[in-house]
Amino acid sequence: EPPAGGEEAAEHRALVLTGFGGYEKVKVQTRRGGGPRPGEVSVRVRACGLNFADLMARQGLYDRLPPPPVCPGMECAGTVRAVGDDVRDRQVGDKVMVLARSGLWQEVVNVPASQTFLLPEGMSFEEAAALLVNYITAYMILFDFGNLRPNQSVLIHMAAGGVGTAAIQLCKTVENVTIFGTASASKHDFLKESGVTHPIDYRTMDYAEEVRKVSPKGVDIVLDPLGGSDTSKAFNLLKPMGKLITYGVANLLTGQKKNLMAMAKTWWNQFSINALQLLHHNKAVCGYHLGYMDEEYELVGGVVAKLINLYSQGKIKPKIDSVWPFDQVADAMRQMQEKKNVGKVILVPEAPKEESKKEEN
């Protein structure tokens, strides 16, 4: 369909995954976009979130990404620049955060209005781009599956990462929760300040032994983003009535490119249990994948409303590790894949200078 108005078909920059492999496979390209279709809004993007799933996608390991060439990105934040027909609850100028299966690492995106959420007072675009994927995941894992209650204990892996920092903050909204968090030693001061009771250096210690020294019976909830043999360790660490929630396979990411040995090892060690065995253990195993929730608008929308409420009360606040322009996307991915980040890695389009001046006036 022909774009409405000359401005609509303007060119914009996008990050495109050109094929599977190393960091260099994600390139800045120019795209031409039309206006929003009925039910959609067009958003000028100011910040995008980088997630573990995007790193998996680059290696061809993420099942919710269309085949390349494709624009990655599951979350972004920006300003509504046009609204399609039938959109009543959004208007031009609204500041929104967006959740999608992919396609958001661009200067301009057209998305269904139902996948946008209004920013609360005082939230920056960077914070908004850091909120949705990590906090929805942490919230649903801890409260919907984990049923976290006062005086319980939780083990959080990659505790200084995006989901980890979100989970720590959410644990702090419940009384007297004991938090075990794994991360490299250089991040332990940050973890202590954030509220982790027992930081554990997974590189030099067996984290299961460290947990048992403090809590011989184990813990009530384990968050497992690792997969492979770590899922078995997690199951064994659960107390009676404990819950294991597996939500990723970070163990597959050993380097820039897909590593077939690591994959074989991870699948070989993949935890497996049948219903009858579960019965004898009095434990729960849950699987969580936000990428398969894309039809669940009411469910996810309800969680976002709770998160925005917690933000407005000052109980949660996304921790930004670093902000990278689109043309440094390789460095941004490396920062996260080598686990150097403390908190969220953010990408920004960095519009040309004259345009940003125009918007300020």
Residue that is written with structure tokens 């934040």 in the block: 77
Same domain, 77 and 185: no
The DSSP output letter for 318 is: P
Residue matched to tokens 């204990």: 153
Residue 304 belongs to some domain of the structure = no
67 burial type by CB count under 10 A (0-12 exposed, 13-18 middle, 19+ buried): exposed
| Burial label, 262 (beta-carbon count in 10 A; 0-12, 13-18, 19+) | middle
> In this structure, are 124 and 149 located in the same domain?
no
The domain that holds 193 is classified in CATH as: 3.40.50.720
Q: Do 349 and 107 form a contact (C-beta atoms < 8 A)?
A: yes
- Cα R_g (the chain), whole angstroms: 21
Is 310 part of any domain?
no
- Residue 233 has a pLDDT of 98
Neighbouring C-beta atoms of residue 18, cutoff 10 Å: 13
Identify whether residues 176 and 237 lie together within a single domain. Answer: yes
Is 95 in the same domain as 145?
no
**Paired tokens of 78:** 């920006």
Residue 6 confidence (pLDDT): 46
Query: What pLDDT was estimated at residue 74?
Result: 98
| Domain-embedded: residue 302 | no
What is the structure's pLDDT at 358? 46
Could you list the residue range(s) of the whole structural domain that residue 340 is in?
A: 11-130+319-348
* Residue 2 neighbours by CB under 8 Å, 6+ apart: none
- 98 and 156 inside one domain: no
Taking alpha carbons only, the member of 212, 222, 270 closest to residue 243 is 222
Q: What is the DSSP letter of 106?
A: B
Q: How many domains does the chain have?
A: 2
Tokens 């599956």 sit at which residue?
145
Is there a domain that residue 174 lies in? yes
Nearest to 28 by CA among 351, 361, 353, 354: 351
Q: Is residue 122 part of a domain?
A: yes
Same-domain pairing of 148 and 216: yes
The label of the residue with tokens 């938090």 reads: 179
> How do residues 108-134 score in pLDDT, each as one tens digit?
999 999 999 999 999 999 999 999 999
pLDDT value for 353: 59
What pLDDT score does 10 carry?
A: 87
CATH of the domain at 96: 3.90.180.10
Whether residues 264 and 335 share a domain: the answer is no
What are the tokens at 220? 């009530």
Looking at the fold, whether 168 and 285 belong to one and the same domain comes out as yes
Angle at 171 between CA 270 and CA 341, to 5 degrees: 65
Q: Supply the pLDDT for residue 350.
A: 84
Say if 225 falls within a structural domain.
Answer: yes
Are residue 123 and residue 152 in the same domain, yes or no?
no
Domain presence at residue 118: yes
Tens-level pLDDT at each residue, the chain (361 residues): 444 444 556 899 999 999 999 999 999 999 998 999 999 999 999 999 999 999 999 999 999 999 999 999 999 999 999 999 999 999 999 999 999 999 999 999 999 999 999 999 999 999 999 999 999 999 999 999 999 999 999 999 999 999 999 999 999 999 999 999 999 999 999 999 999 999 999 999 999 999 999 999 999 999 999 999 999 999 999 999 999 999 999 999 999 999 999 999 999 999 999 999 999 999 999 999 999 998 999 999 999 999 999 999 999 999 999 999 999 999 999 999 999 999 999 999 985 555 444 444 4
Indicate the DSSP class of residue 276. H
pLDDT score for 5: 47
